[in-house]
Every structure is written in structure tokens, then in C-alpha cells.
A and B are shown apart, each in its own frame.
Chain A
Amino acid sequence: MARIPSIIWAVALVVVLAALPAIVPRYWIYFAGILGINIIAVHGLNIMTGYTGLLSLGHAAFVGVGAYTVALAQSKLALPFYLAIPLAGLVAAIMGIGFGLPSLRIRGLYLVIATLAAQFLLNFVFVHWQSVTNGDAGLTVLPATIFGYPLNTETRVYYLILACDVALTLFAFNVIRSRVGRAFIAVRERDRTAEVLGVRIVWYKFVAFALGSFYAGVAGGLLAYFNQFVNPEQFGLVLSVFFLSAVIVGGMGSTLGAILGAVFMTLLPEFLRGGGLAIGTALGFDIAAILVPLRETVFGLLIVGFLILEPRGLAQLWKRAQQKFLTTPATIPITLIGKQGDNR
């Protein structure tokens, strides 16, 4: 069986996604929009954590920076969305560099602590800088307009999100295939060797961190336009854990993995709710009360389970399934050898 080139699959997928609002109910479109935003944020974290090995526990806060940037750029500077969204990315990147700079020079735990500090400090600013962020009440965001045409329904913003998703996925994919992407992987795998080979590791860590935060900022900007409001509660530590789980479950260091992880993690709470409610009604037990902690438990189990059992995540499972179904018999022994090598 001849393999269909993956580019055809990708184009077909985009066509289906573009036609989606005509096919499925409105609730699904809301869902697809959130999913698209999550994919962008997870791409960002995947560039930092997956490819370059820089663990961030503050990704949600940088998404928040992007969202607040859009809200403020709109109300104070009256910027249109095509300027506000890149600005959101830039501001988040600058913030990311600010927090990352002192610890990017040191190996190990220090960056983790700095990003955790970013998570709490930025959230503190969102809550307590009343005059700018309006505290817990948050800010409302007006719909983006394009040539006087307002993107005021979920379906319309959905297309904006879809366009950003396609562009940023392609960009991530190509960055990783370039010299920069190979440098990221070299920094993650063997930083000293990379240095000896002439890869300026501090510079590339810097680039990875800025790029990852930029993605987070863009995701936040889109989220602001999508929800049409911004408040601090959206960007807590739980969301950072969510992004981290998505990167791990999808497969660290795989662009396909980032997408699979985001899809899986976005759908999971819905399945938990659906399944939980069904089981709950069957047993006469109120499961709605424990849904939030149940979700937290399952996120944790997925993180631990995937890290121990399948560190390369869903992307690897996908690849294996593909090999199983799409390879000709002659190549099977090779895959078997590959499988044994995968045991670690």
C-alpha cells in the first residue's frame, strides 16, 4: 500500500476544520476554538520544555500576559487585532526573557523556580494592580474587527484561531527542522558537547524561551478575543499544569505530539464529565461535586504514567500504530528491532 504523503493529510485536515462550523453544533465550535488556543500554547511549551529541555511551570501566566496585553492594547491604544495579537506575543516574550534571564545561565532547578515565581508574581499583578487590570472583576474585550466586519460570534473568531493555528504550527514545524531547532535539541541532549561544537547554548536557550513565551502570548491574545473578557482566575497554576500534561502526554519534542496532547487534554475533562455523570446517575451518586479533583488526579496520573511508561507520548504510540498498519511485510523485522530499542 502506497503511503499518502502527510502534506495531503494536513491539507485535508485544514479543509475539514474550515468546513466544521457548517457541520457541527455551535457548542462544538466553542470547544474547537478553545482547543485551537490550547494547541498554540502547547506548541510554545513544547518548544521550551520538549525540544530545549527548559521546564516551565509558569506558562499559564505568560498566556495571561498576552490576554491582558490585548485587553489593554484595545482599550488604551485602540489597536486593531492584527497588531494587538503580535504585540501580545512580544510582551509575553519580553516578560519571559525577564524572568528567565538570570536562571538560563545555570543548569537544573533554577529555571523551574524562576518560572514558578513568574506564575505567582504575574498572577499577583493581575489581581492587585487594580487601576490597570481591574482586579478580580477583570476586563471586557470588544470583538476584533476586520475591515469593519466584527468577529463577534464564536464561529467568526474560530476562523481567526484556525488561521493562527495553521501559521504557528507550520512555523514551529519549520523552526525545528532548521539550524535553530537542531541547536535546541543539542542543548537538551548534551549541552557541553553542543557548546564544544560551536552551538551558543545560552543564546539558544534564550531564543527557545522567548519563542515559547511568544506562542503563549498569542494564545492569550486569542483567548481574550474569544471569551471577550479577561480575569486573573483563568491563568492559575492549574492551567500551567494542564499545559505541561499536554506536552508530556502528547510527546515531548514532537510538533505532532503537541497537537495530539492538546487535543487529548482538552477532550479529557469532557469525557470525564460525560462518563462520570453517566456512572454517577447509574449508581445514584453525585459525581459532579468531585469532578474538579477528579480532573486534577487524572492529570497527575497521566503525567506520571506517561513519563514512566512512554516518555515520547502519544506521538510515539501514533507512529507505532502507523508502522503496524502501513508498512509492508519486508520492513517488519526492522520495526521489531526498533521496538526493542525503544524499551527505555
Chain B
Amino acid sequence: MNPIMVFAEYSAVGIAAGGIYALIALGTVVIFKSSQTFNFAMGEMMMLSAYFFYTAAVIFDFGLLPGFILALVGSIAVALLIERFALRPMLGRPFIAIVMVTFGIGSIIRGVVSMVWGPTDLQSPAILARTPVMIGSLFIPGKTARAFAVAVVIVGGLIAFLRYSRAGIALRAAAADQITAYSMGIDVRRVIAFTWVIAAITGCISGVLMANVNSLTPNLGLVALNVLSVIILGGMNSIGGVLVAGLIIGWLESVTGFLLGTEFREITPYVLALLILLVRPTGLFGTAEIERI
């Protein structure tokens, strides 16, 4: 096989992995847009959902679809509890205090999950077929390709939903100007709670997919820290930007692994994040909301 083909294959695999990044990033961006809260617990919410799914589908043996629905309900309940009891009391408090709260929540979830389910790897039930997908002569592992397809469909659907539905318009109104939105009859608190529901949904789907592609451990959530660079590249507050940025970061990670060696994969997102901060802090699609001082 010639090097160009190998490169192309790594590229395809990377882009496919980027789909899930986009999904995780979407949940974070939506919350950020509505309440300027950066949710560092996103990865842990995702990981917890995957454990919910495992518990419902494997331990209680409810089957895949009912198991997924139960996991979804559980994830939404957890997200609403976090919003109501940890973040709402923090409204109006300094930005870094809120960030630290979400960071603390992540730590709690990680600890509780390791205590309840144990620190060892669990094998999530196979929901995606393993048969590899061939594009021309490019070979893409089956699970990665199918996870990509699911992720892109969901991300596309959610972007369209946030663009055209009443709830989505209310969200954008609240993001643009909270006080005006409030005075026009939009219940901003419900909008914020709604963004947490969206985050729970994207977290649940990405968690289940992720646990299927890799294995299920309490450290699954750390992937979401890589997603930081997706969010910066897309531009903090751009919902559409996450899709493009997710694919780019996925691609770069895979290609770096190929060109420099696999150990460099893990730092690619951070190097990139620093470069973006240096060159173009607004990212690709962000509005110039960042404040230079």
C-alpha cells in the first residue's frame, strides 16, 4: 500500500472519530451560549450516561432500545438536578466560580462512578456492527464509521432544530440579550434548563457510542477535555461551528498519530488550542464576543 493511501485511510478514520467530538462539543456550546457557563462536567455526564446504558441493558437486561431510553431519561434527570441545585444558586457569581463548580461536579461523578461500578473496564453491549466500511479501497473500522454516521445525523438534526424550532429561537434570543428576551416573555430559566437537557441528550448518545467504540471506564469522560479545542476552533458560541471543528480536530489527531507517532495524538488538541488562542481566539465561526483588555 502506498503512503498516500495510508495517509488517506488515517484521515478517513480521524474524520470519522471527529463526529463524536462534534456531538460532545455541541452540548457544551449550547449551555455556554445560553448562560455563559462553561460545563467542565460534560465528559463525566457522557461517561455516566454510558454506565446508565450498561446497567439497564446488561445488568438488568432490558434490551438495547429500552436500555437506551432509560439511560436517556436518567441522564436528563441528572443534568436537570445539576442545573437546579449546583448552577442556579451560582447565577450572577463570577465566571471562574461557576467554572470551578462544574469542575467539582465532574470530580464527584468520576468518583461516584468508580465507587459504584468499579474502576475496571466494562464491555458495553455491541450496538454497532463490526463489519468494516470500504470507501473505494479505503478501509474504515465498522464501529467508527457507524458511530460517525449516527453522530453526524444527530448533530445535523440538533443544529436544524435549534435554528428553526421555537425553543431554538428562544435560546438564541436569550443568548443574544438575556434581559430583552426576558421582557419579551421568554422564560430564560427554562431556556437554560432546556440547554442542559440538550447537553444530556448529546452526552448520552456520545457516551453510548464512545463506550461502544472504546471500552467503558470511569476515565471515558476525559475525552471531553480534548473537545475543548473543538469548541475553541469552532468559536465558543457557534453551534454550527462545532461540526466543522469536530471533524478537523478528529482528522488532525489521527494524522498526527500517523506522522509523529501515536503518543503525540493525546497532545494534539492542546497544542492546537494554544495555537488558536495565539492566532485567532474567536475560532473559525465565533462572533467577536471575546473581550480583549
Query: Is B139 close to A, CB under 8 A?
Result: no
Query: Is B257 close to A, CB under 8 A?
Result: no
Query: Is B95 close to A, CB under 8 A?
Result: yes
Residues of A in contact with B, size category: 35 or more
Q: State the Cβ distance, A117 to closest chain B Cβ, in Å.
A: 4
Determine the chain B residues whose CB is within 8 A of the CB of A113 once the complex forms. Answer: 228, 232, 273, 277
Which segment of A19-27, A70-78, A298-306 sits at the interface?
Answer: A298-306
Which segment of A8-16, A104-112, A323-331 sits at the interface?
Answer: A104-112
Q: State the Cβ distance, B1 to closest chain A Cβ, in Å.
A: 28
Which positions 220-278 of chain A face chain B at CB distance < 8 Å? 241, 244-245, 248
B104–A53 CB distance below 8 A: no
The one of A195, A290, A300 that contacts B115, using a Cβ cutoff of 8 Å: A290
Q: Digit string of B84-128 for contact with A (CB within 8 Å is 1, else 0)?
A: 001001100111110111011111111111110001000000000
Given A53-B96, A107-B290, A308-B101, A297:B115 Cβ within 8 A: yes
Residues of B in contact with A, size category: 35 or more
A244–B267 CB distance below 8 A: no
Which positions 284-317 of chain A face chain B at CB distance < 8 Å? 290, 292-304, 307-308, 311
Query: Is A164 close to B, CB under 8 A?
Result: no
Query: Is A191 close to B, CB under 8 A?
Result: yes
The one of A53, A108, A297, A311 that contacts B111, using a Cβ cutoff of 8 Å: A297
Query: Is B61 close to A, CB under 8 A?
Result: no
Query: Is B134 close to A, CB under 8 A?
Result: no
Q: Digit string of A82-117 for contact with B (CB within 8 Å is 1, else 0)?
A: 000000000000000001001101111110111011
Alpha-carbon distance A53/B274, docked complex (angstroms): 20
Q: State the Cβ distance, A170 to closest chain B Cβ, in Å.
A: 27
Query: Is B225 close to A, CB under 8 A?
Result: yes
Alpha-carbon distance A124/B265, docked complex (angstroms): 11
Query: Is B271 close to A, CB under 8 A?
Result: yes
Q: State the Cβ distance, B33 to closest chain A Cβ, in Å.
A: 13
A297–B107 CB distance below 8 A: yes
Alpha-carbon distance A70/B114, docked complex (angstroms): 36
Query: Is B270 close to A, CB under 8 A?
Result: yes
B274–A106 CB distance below 8 A: no
Q: B interface, by DSSP: helix, strand, loop or mixed?
A: helix
B107–A296 CB distance below 8 A: yes
The one of A54, A55, A202, A308 that contacts B89, using a Cβ cutoff of 8 Å: A308
Query: Is B38 close to A, CB under 8 A?
Result: yes
Query: Is B17 close to A, CB under 8 A?
Result: no
Can you report 25 residue pairs joining A to B where beta carbons are below 8 Å apart? A54-B96, A55-B100, A102-B278, A106-B281, A106-B293, A109-B236, A116-B270, A120-B266, A120-B267, A120-B270, A121-B271, A128-B263, A195-B293, A202-B293, A241-B107, A244-B100, A293-B119, A293-B218, A296-B114, A300-B108, A303-B101, A303-B103, A304-B86, A308-B89, A308-B90
The 10 closest A-B pairs by CB, nearest first: A297-B111, A303-B104, A300-B107, A293-B114, A300-B108, A296-B111, A117-B270, A304-B104, A55-B96, A293-B111
Binding site for A on B (CB under 8 A): 38, 86, 89-90, 93-97, 99-101, 103-115, 119, 218, 225, 228, 232, 236, 263, 266-267, 270-271, 273-274, 277-278, 281, 290-293
Binding site for B on A (CB under 8 A): 49, 53-55, 57, 99, 102-103, 105-110, 112-114, 116-117, 120-121, 124, 128, 191-192, 195, 201-202, 241, 244-245, 248, 290, 292-304, 307-308, 311
Besides A108-B291, A109-B99, 18 other A-B contacts (C-beta < 8 A): A106-B290, A106-B293, A108-B290, A109-B95, A113-B232, A114-B277, A116-B225, A120-B267, A120-B270, A124-B267, A192-B293, A241-B103, A244-B100, A299-B107, A300-B106, A303-B101, A307-B97, A307-B104
